[in-house]
């Protein structure tokens, strides 16, 4: 796992995001453990606006699994790639500091 710098340079940006990858079975287990639906929604095109707004361009591709929402007070966006060892990107934003 690695913490990746935020793609944005302003004070309203989301916190730096986390990226990790691993075998599909472990990534799938993580998705099921952290989401009631297992993060099943598939992106219908590259660079969905909600993903670009949170993670920047080029992170998400058509067919990647995408989830967004809130676990108050934290808003989140998750992208799970389609590779044999999928890369997962997670962006979170908490209350203003």
Q: What residue segments make up the domains of the chain, in order of their start?
A: 17-93
Cβ atoms of residues 68 and 78 within 8 Å? yes
Q: What is the DSSP string of the chain?
A: -EEE--S--STTPPPPEEEEE--HHHHHHHHHHH-TT-S--B-SSSS-HHHHHHH-TTS--TT-EEEEEEETTEEEEEEE--SSS-EEEEEEE-S--
What's the confidence (pLDDT) of residue 14?
A: 57
pTM for the full predicted model: 0.82
The per-residue pLDDT for 79 is 96
29-88 pLDDT tens trace = 989 998 888 899 999 999 999 999 889 899 999 999 999 998 888 889 999 999 989 999
Residue 11 pLDDT grade (very low, low, confident, very high; cuts 50, 70, 90) = very low
Q: What is the pLDDT of residue 42?
A: 96
């Amino acid at each position: 796992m690695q913490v990746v710098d935020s793609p944005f340079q302003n004070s309203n940006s989301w916190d730096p995001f986390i990226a990790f990858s691993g075998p599909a079975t472990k990534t799938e287990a993580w998705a099921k453990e952290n989401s009631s639906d297992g993060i099943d929604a598939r992106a219908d095109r590259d660079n969905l606006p909600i993903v670009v707004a949170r993670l920047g361009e080029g992170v998400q591709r058509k067919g990647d699994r995408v989830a967004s929402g809130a676990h108050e007070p934290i808003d989140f966006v998750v992208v799970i790639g389609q590779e044999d060892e999928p890369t997962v990107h997670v962006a979170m934003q908490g209350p203003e500091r």
